[in-house]
Every structure is written in C-alpha cells, then in structure tokens.
Structure 1
C-alpha cells in the first residue's frame, strides 16, 4: 500500500511541477512518468481517467498547498496587507530560483483546459475560493467589512495571477513587488475607513 501511495503521489507531484513549468498541453504522459519515476502501468492504474483526471487532481493538490501556505502566513502576518506581501515575497523567491520558468500550475492548467474539462475547472474554482477565504478572514479580522474583504480577496488573486505571468515575461519579480505594494495600500486604506 505504501508503494501505491508513493507512486500516486510521485505522479501528482511530477504533474504539478511540469504543468507549472510547461503547461498542461505541452506536458505528455511519458514526461510525467519519467519525472515521477513511477512504473509505466501505474499511471492508468491510479488515474483511469487519464491526463484530465491527473490535471484535476494536480490542480487540487497545488491549490491545497497554496491554501496551507496562506494560512501559515496569515497566522504570522500583521493583517492582510502584510499577508499579501509575505506571500508575494515567497513567490518572488521561488520564481527567481526557477529562473522565471515556473508559473502557477493552476492557472496554466486552467487556461488550457477550461471549459473542455469540467473537473479541472471545478478544482480550480475550489482552489481560488479557498485562497479568497483565507484572505477574506485576514481582512475581516483586521476590521475590514465582509463585502469589501471579499472583493479585495478576489482582486488580490486576479492581480497575483496576472503578476505571475508578467514576471515570467519580464524575467524578474518587479510585477509581483508592484502588485504587493498596491494591494498593501488598498488593504491599509480599507482598514482606516
């Protein structure tokens, strides 16, 4: 049983990595197998729905990882602006470490699969909802009214995804830094009202 979980987890981790770097369409099943080190027969054994099933589960896995990171940072942050800055700083470091080859595995996968693959769309929507929930909770705890907190959370996610794309194009973290600064100012302004 431990081997089964190991191969399944390795296939998912490889998928997340490859989707983040190359996108969904450009990632082949043979690449996923090679990157994971899992035996050839394991792919369809654990994912009988093929690449679309792997895509949906990879989006879920990546979404949960981001949610955990946001929750951990929220516990340490001094309000929503600080939470956003801390998270964007992490992303800037990760992107620099990948020489700006990595992006968001969720967004790259969604851009290439929605609306054809409903399970992947649903996994992406659930991830974005979870991230927005963490940001909203942080903002409400800082005294921002719920409706404004929800709006700012959705805006922050939209700005984040756009900044990640721009970082890859620019080959530097300046877009993330700019968005973090502007979001910090928006959160600060919302707290003083």
Structure 2
C-alpha cells in the first residue's frame, strides 16, 4: 500500500493489516497505536466510536485497495483467465515475505465477526460483492452469460479467500498457486 499516508490512512493501513492477520479480537487499540507510530490521540480523533467503526473503515480501506489492484490487472490483461491468474499470482507474492503482508482480503475478520457485528458483516459482504463483480464483469466481456459470470465471480473470490487463509496458516503461497493453476479448468466452459 501507499507509504505516503495521512494519519487517518496510516491508522487504517495498520489496523487493516493487523485485523487481517490476527483477527478482530486479538487486535487491540493499543497495538494499532503502537504499530502505526502515531500518538494515542490520533486514533481516537479519527475513530471516536472505537474499535468496531475502525474495523468497518479498515474493511473499506482494504476493499478499495483490492478493487484498484483487481481493476488495474483486469484492464491490463485482455484474457480473463490470464487476468485472474495474474491477480492471484500478485496476491501470492506477498507470502514471499509474510511479515509484510498487506491488502489481503477480509476473510479472517469476516468469519470472526459475522455473527457478532451486523455492521461489520455488511461491510465484508459489500467488499466481497465488489470483488466478485469485477471478476464477473471481466467474464461477461469475454462472452459469459451474466448469471454464470456472477456465480463464477463468487466461486473464484471464495477460492482466493480460502487460498489466502491456507497460505497464512501454512506461511506458504502454495495454496494460492494451486488456486491460480486451477483457474483455466474452472473457466473452460461457458455457462
């Protein structure tokens, strides 16, 4: 992510990374303050409603980052299979240095908070839906029917999310590489 950030975005970047890697409950406000390098007053100035609002904004921050990356790759590569594979490969490259992972989808946060925070659950659904639609739009441009493309967008996003969870757990990008290698078989037939 961008290294020239204002204090609000620096807090969001730090919180996003920590929520994605540690989860909501394991990430405390003091850790976010410490790792962002900003004074304690900054976090409460920008997020006076506390941790839940910060987590929702962190989901939006991560979602926008992923959207920009996905759209850029989808625009640069005309073939949808190659474009999706390029996005997965780019995502998997973060696991070459797990300590610097950022901008990975919000699956851990979603699974941990979906039953306890309706606002967080809705923010995660919104993020997932945006990513799925970007993938579906690319497939539609290639001649897929709308309904099938939307299903494929959801399936591919789910596979990427699962690959990320396994890659985090294993501290290895191999699960994402398997997902990437499977994309041609998943998309070989039009619905």
Give the structure-2-normalised TM-score.
Answer: 0.90
**Partners in 2 of 1:57 and 1:154 — Cα distance?**
23
Unaligned runs of 5+ in 1: none
In structure 2, what is the equivalent of residue 133 of structure 1? 133
- Which range moved further: 69-78 or 13-22? 13-22
**1:158 alignment partner in structure 2:** 158
Separation in structure 1 between the aligned mates of residue 96 and residue 40 of structure 2, nearest angstrom:
33
Deviation at 1:105, TM superposition (A): 5.2
Note the C-alpha offset of 1:189. 2.3
TM-superposed CA distance for 1:171, in Å, is 3.0
Match of 2:28 in 1: 28
Alpha carbon RMSD of aligned pairs, Å?
2.0
1:62 equivalent in structure 2: 62
Q: How does 1:6-45 map to 2 (within 5 A)?
A: 6-45=6-45
Query: Match for residue 89 of structure 1?
Result: 89
* Local SS of the residue matching 2:26: coil
Q: 1:156 to 1:105 in 2, by over 3 A?
A: closer
Instruction: Answer whether contact 1:81 1:185 (CA < 8 A) is retained.
Output: no
- 1:168-179 equivalent positions in 2, closer than 5 A: 168-179=168-179
Q: Structure 1 CA distance, aligned partners of 2:100 and 2:111?
A: 19
Partner Cα separation in structure 1 for residue 101 and residue 139 of structure 2 = 32
Deviates more, 1:43-52 or 1:138-147: 43-52
Structure 2: gaps of 5 or more residues: none
Question: How many pairs are equivalent?
Answer: 187
Q: Tell me how far 1:143 sits from its aligned partner.
A: 0.7
Whether contact under 8 Å (2:91, 2:104) holds in the other structure is: no
Cα distance in 2 for residues equivalent to 1:27 and 1:60: 18
Cα distance in 2 between the residues matched to 1:113 and 1:64: 20
Query: Distance in 2 between the 1:105 and 1:128 partners?
Result: 8
- 1:84, 1:184 within 8 Å by CA — same for their partners in 2? no
Measure the CA separation in 2 of the matches of 1:28 and 1:98. 21
Deviation at 1:188, TM superposition (A): 2.9
Q: Which moved more, 1:117-126 or 1:139-148?
A: 117-126
Does the 8 A contact of 1:24 with 1:109 survive in 2? yes
Find the aligned partners of 2:133 and 2:105 in 1 and give their Cα distance: 20
Q: Summarize deviations over 1:64-113 as a string: whole Å, max 9, x none.
A: 11011100000112322112100110111112221697784511111221
